[in-house]
Each structure stands twice: as C-alpha cells, then as structure tokens.
Amino acid sequence: PISLFDPHSKNVLLLRDSEQSGFGFSISESEEKGIFVNAVKPDGMAQLNGICPNDRILQVRVYIFNLFY
C-alpha cells in the first residue's frame, strides 16, 4: 500500500472561491486502483496545482472557510 509519507506521493492544497463550480477534476473508483483521478480540466485549479490523470487519491481533508468583508 502507498503511504502519505511515500516519497512518490504528493500533497496538494486546492482552494476555490464561491464563484467556481468545482476543482477541475473528476474521480473514479476501481478495485485495482482504488480512487483515482480520471480527468483533469485544462488550465483548471487541479492542473495548475499538479494533479494529473491516473493520480491515486489516498486521503481528502475538507476545510470550509466563510470569509466576509
């Protein structure tokens, strides 16, 4: 199994504002691969942060911030 601390894994922080409808990628699940990225939107938030098709997702953390000015 791949670990979060494996030198071949990468940690990515994706931020979006309320005007964006998504993060620019879609995922799929299979018994062999687990959960993985199957498509990345060109020039989307995911691609700009180094997410590529076939990347395997090991962990997701969600933080919700509501900032009012």
Query: To which residue do tokens 């933080």 refer?
Result: 63
Q: How far apart are CA 65 and CA 53, in angstroms?
A: 28
- Structural element, H or E, at residue 35: strand 34-40
Torsion of CA 1, 35, 22, 59, to 10 degrees: -30
| pLDDT tens track, the chain, 69 positions | 566 677 777 888 787 767 777 889 999 999 888 899 999 999 888 998 899 999 999 888 877 776 666
What global pTM score does this model have? 0.72
Q: How far apart are CA 48 and CA 33, in angstroms?
A: 24
